[in-house]
Structures are given as C-alpha cells and as structure tokens.
Structure 1
C-alpha cells in the first residue's frame, strides 16, 4: 500500500516538474518559421548571374521585398488546381442573398420489409463468417494449435447462437412484412 502512494507521489512530482520545465523553458531568440503559401507573382526576366556566396543574401533579401505580406488567414489557405469539369465558386458579395443549398432528402421509413432485407443481409454475412471460422478451426486443429482451436470454437458457438436468433427474427419480420404489404 505504501509503495502505491510513493509511486503516485513520484508520478505527480514528475508531472509537475515537466509542466514547470515547459512553461519556464527559455524561448529561442529566433522567431518561428512560418511556411510560405504559394503566391502568384509575375516572373521577372533577369540575366543569369553566377551565384557566389556573397550574392545569396542579396537574392533572399530581394525576394522577400518583392513578395506581398500575407495575413494569417491567407498563409493557411490551400490552393487546389481546378480539374476538368470543375467550376470555380463565385466570390461572396456583401449584401447579396445567401446561396441556397440543395434540399436534404427525407429519411426513408424503416418498414418491416426494410428491416427484413437488412436482417437477411446480416444473416448471410454472419453465415459466411461461421463457414470461415470453421475452416480456420480445422486448420488450427491440423496444425495442432489447441489454444487457437478453442478460441475459434468459442467464436463459433457465439456466432451460431446469433445466427439462430437472426433466423427467428427473419421469420417474425417476414410475417410483419406480409401484414404490412397486405394492409396497403
């Protein structure tokens, strides 16, 4: 019991020290680098100049002066090329009415026929799983892997029980679907 409290105390101390280290850690004097967003700038024709170590800072300084300053929202924008058949969205105009969205189709009613079809599909999938598990169990027994064989046998028992329940449910839903269709 004492060891548990000591471990909890040590964890709390370690957490406190790490939080204090993060908060009080000296910041670097170099400002963080913000990734540049692609900006369309007209190319400037210039004569090729042999690059030398002295001319590199001049080129960087000239490039930074020529590019416009981006606001934070523009710097995070992603530019995606339009593909064939794509239409560029029209810019929003202040005072213009909002664009109307397409109407959302109402959810279809979950009738007894719908539930019957859904349950039949689930039953078919579960039946395939049972067949697959039986093959895997036989393979495990052939390899002599008793542990895996026991695991698969447990899964088979559960799946077969669920299959039995679903088949009973299908019978009930079949009757309900017949009554529903005759009522219409």
Structure 2
C-alpha cells in the first residue's frame, strides 16, 4: 500500500515540475507568424558570427497558405493497376433502404394463453420445489435468517402458483367455449 502512495506522490511531483517548467520557460524573442527584421543570432561554440552568415540563410522563403478544405485543392489522380476496381461515384441522396415486412402479431387466442400459462405454472412449480429444498437445507444448517427469507419467497410463490392454477381453470373453460363456437 505504501508503495502505491509513494508512486502516486512521485508522479504528482513530476507532473508539477514539468508544468512549472513549461509555464516559466523563457518566451521566444520572435512572435510566431511575425516577420523578424533581423534573423535570430545563434551564439555558442562553433557557430559563425552574424557577419559571416550567407545571405540565402538569412532570406526566408514565402510559403503559400494551404487551402482550408478539400474542395479548393485539386484531386490527386492515381493510375489504376491491372486488377484494380475503380470506386463507385458518391450519390448525393441514396435511395432508402428496403426494410423487411413486419409480420403480423400472432392472435392471442384462449388456446395460446392457456399454453403460456401452463408453461409459467410449470416453471413456478419447479421454483417452489427448489426453494423448499433450500429452506430445508438452511434449517438443517441452523441458518434461521436464510430459512426465514426462503419461507417468505415460498409463501409469495405459492400464492402466485395458486393464482395461475385458477387462471388455468378459467382458460380451460374459455378454450372449450372457443372450440365449440367454431
């Protein structure tokens, strides 16, 4: 832990020193973009005196400004090699994409609801059995808190299971009525 804090401290100090160095660095004698009246004088061992600098080094070339957008510059043309495929031209307004047809929703008949409810009842019945086993295991371990939690879940699931079974009876009658009406 201490090593991590020391590393973070060293990194913070290094960052602070580098920021201060950049902020306090002496400013350039020539403003960028301004044409100097005299060339900067290089001093140091092995540099020639200003009088001996050749005139072409002193003279600056004027650089033409580069256009801001691609539209103003001419395009670069590259010859196609054998086997190359030329790109397709860009289309300003491409045609809209064709979407797949939306399939109509299946009718939710009484038979369909009966099958779904039967499936849900089976799943919930398995959950109740699993929770009963877990509650018995928790009681055998002496874990009263977990046993109480599982008992609460069991009571809720049993109530929902009872509601689903009632709904199954009603849907069974509705299926009989629906099949007799056809």
- Work out which structure has the larger RCO, using CA pairs closer than 8 Å and 6 or more positions apart in sequence: 1
TM-score (norm 1): 0.48
TM-score scaled to structure 2, two decimals? Answer: 0.48
